[in-house]
Structure 1
Amino acid sequence: MRALLVVNPKATTTSARTRDVLIHALASDLKLEVATTEYRGHARDLGRQAVQRGEIELVIVLGGDGTVNEVVNGLLCDGPAPDVLPRLAVVPGGSTNVFARALGLPNHAVEATGALLGALNSGSERTVGLGLAAGTPGTDDAEVPARWFTFCAGLGFDAGVVGRVEQKRERGRRSTHALYVRQVVRQFLGDPYRRHGTITLRRPGEEPVEDLALSIVCNTAPWTYLGNRPVYAAPRASFDTALDVLGLTRLTPSAVTRYGTQLLTSSPERGPRGRHAVSLHDLTEFTLESQVPLPFQMDGDHLGLRTSVTFTGVRRALRVIV
């Protein structure tokens, strides 16, 4: 099998030694090409080129969720083919690695490499669904190009946290869970819309859900990890269904304390619930609209401000080696 290994050398837990071990192990079983990313968006370009060449049967990613997202968007630059879906494998190299861990892969690169080799030898793979987000026709965001996400997206509060973390990382700070927690507190203190939400969720044939202060779109569960602790914003979300949404209509101190505690103690059977919580399951198509521009993120990548985003849940989009 001819494969392309895409390596992000700047990923949090990726080292030259890890890369060399992975290349040596994979080269014994595959006709392997190796490409190292050099700029933001390079992994997307490499994924697109692999599809266009037509001879690459598998793309392997060594990196974090951002690198995985870029490669997926390259592989699906023309959308999923009706007959043959692109094939992807992931070796986690980031700080959180939500997509890889949600697939059941080890969070250690060497262990994940062993699992990958075993799956390749046995022919083990699964088809997963993905989310697609695009600017809404007829709005100021209409020209925003469509983009795929693997595990989550968010408009509003959580995207603001992601944006703050990215600013810190650009100044040389490491991406740690402690850094995220501090930015959650700062986002809460600085968010002018936390008491009166500006977001409306619209879906065909249903009444709109209004006044959301937080909106998290999940393609799988867990939503994220705090160290080794999985956090479930939408416990029923799955790679086998369309998209789930968690919305909160208030982010007062008491509400944040209550729902934050519920997130920290969440499980596959129980997520956030209460008077100000909205949970929706298996949505194929819906739109999030805001009265004011709000931060938007996909797979932990801050994408600027948006006023309207249309989401589509695609149940069969990608084959993953697991």
Structure 2
Amino acid sequence: MRALLVVNPAATTTSARTRDVLIHALASEMKLEAVTTEYRGHARDLGRQAAESDDIDLVVALGGDGTVNEVVNGLLHDGPAPGHVPGLAVVPGGSTNVFARALGLPNDAVEATGALLDALREGSERTVGLGLTSGTPGTEDEAVPSRWFTFNAGLGFDAGVVGRVEQQRERGRKSTHALYVRQVLRQLVGEPSRRQGTITMERPGEDAVSELLLCIASNTAPWTFLGNRPMYASPRASFDTGLDVFGLSRMSTASVARYGTQLLTSSPERGPHGKHALSLHDLSEFTLHSKAPLPLQMDGDHLGLRTSVTFTGVRRALRVIV
């Protein structure tokens, strides 16, 4: 087997020595080429080159969710083609690693490498569904390129929090769970329109849902982690179904406290619920519109402001070694 290892040198939880050990372990089991990313989007370019190659069987992403997202978008640049596109393996190296942990992989990079080698020896793999966003025809965002996401995407409040976190990281702050909590609080205080919903959700054959303040599309559960605590905004979301949606139409101080507590105590059996909460399961396609441009995030990556985004759940999109 020939494999490409894409290494993010800025991965927050792996040292250079640990990366060297992991590379040696993987190289003992396969013909391995390791490439270190040098710029934003480099992992995507490497994934695309691997997909266009005739002799790469597997791409291993060593990094956080952002690195995985880039590799996936490179592999699927020309669309899903299970059996023709190289498989994906993940060695978690970020601060949260939602995709890897949702697959059942250990959060420790060394343990995850051991699990990966075991899976390769046993031929253990699965083909997972993914989410795809695109510009909506007839809107100013029509020409925006399509982009895949592995575990979630959001328009509105949560994407604003992601943007704030990225600003702090650009200033040298370390990505920690405490940093995210602080930015949630600052977003609540600093967002002047948080009491008035601007998002409308449309889906084929159904009435529109309007006045949402945030809308999160999940491709799996949990949605994220707070430390080692899993958070289930959409408990039934799965790699084997379409997309699930969680939305809120009110974010007053009392409602934020209520739904925040429900999220902290959520489980695979029960997520946030109430008259101001929207929960939808297994959707194939829907569109979010906003009169005012709102921030968009995918897999924890802030992608700027959008007024209209179409979401599609694509089943059996990519082969993953687990």
TM-score (normalised: structure 1): 0.99
CA distance in 1, matches of 2:54, 2:270: 44
User: Which residues of 2 match residues 51-130 of structure 1 at below 5 A?
Assistant: 51-81=51-81, 84-130=84-130
The Cα offsets for residues 84-110 of structure 1, whole Å up to 9 and x where unpaired, read as 343000000000000000000000000
Rounded to whole Å, the distance in 1 between the matches of 2:39 and 2:186 is 29
- Counterpart of 1:234 in structure 2 is 234
Pair 1:158-2:158 in alignment:
yes
Counterpart for residue 173 of structure 1: 173
Contact 1:5 1:34 (8 Å CA) reproduced: yes
Give matches, 1:176-215, under 5 Å: 176-215=176-215
Whether the 8 Å contact between 1:155 and 1:294 is mirrored in structure 2 is yes
Query: Residue 179 of structure 2: SS of its match in structure 1?
Result: helix
Contact 1:130/1:313 (CA < 8 Å) preserved in 2?
yes
1:43 aligns with 2:43: yes
Does the residue aligned with 1:201 lie in a helix, a strand or coil?
A: strand
CA distance in structure 2 between the partners assigned to 1:74 and 1:15 by the alignment: 26
Structure 2: stretches of 5+ with no match in the other structure? none
Count of aligned pairs between the two proteins: 322
Question: 1:197, 1:249 within 8 Å by CA — same for their partners in 2?
Answer: yes
Question: What is the SS of the residue equivalent to 1:47?
Answer: helix
**TM superposition shift of 1:83:** 5.0
Partner residue in 2 for 1:318? 318
Is the Cα contact below 8 Å between 1:213 and 1:247 reproduced in 2?
Answer: yes
Unaligned runs of 5+ in 1: none
Aligned position for 2:307: 307
2:257 corresponds to: 257
- Aligned to 2:172, the other structure's residue is in SS state coil
Distance (Å, rounded) in 2 between the aligned partners of 1:320 and 1:50: 15
Q: Compute the RMSD of aligned alpha carbons.
A: 0.8
**1:35 CA displacement:** 0.4
Moved over 3 A (4+): 82-86
1:25-36 correspondence to structure 2 within 5 Å: 25-36=25-36
**Kept after mapping to 2: 8 A contact 1:3/1:32:** yes
* Aligned sequence identity (%): 79
Compute the displacement of 1:82 (Å): 6.0
Moved more, 78-87 or 27-36: 78-87
Match of 2:71, SS state, is: helix
For 1:37 and 1:13, the matched residues in 2 are separated by: 16
SS in 2 for 1:19: helix
Q: SS where residue 266 of structure 1 aligns?
A: coil
Check conservation: 1:80, 1:86, Cα contact below 8 A. Answer: no
For residues 137 and 244 of structure 2, the distance between their equivalents in structure 1, rounded to whole angstroms, comes to 22
User: Which whole-Å CA distance do the structure 1 matches of 2:284 and 2:103 have between them?
Assistant: 21
Asked if the contact 1:284/1:312 (under 8 Å) is kept, the reply is yes
> Match for 1:74: what amino acid?
G
State TM-score, norm by structure 2: 0.99
Q: 1:281 to 1:85 in 2, by over 3 A?
A: farther
Q: Is the 8 A contact 1:8 1:14 kept in 2?
A: no
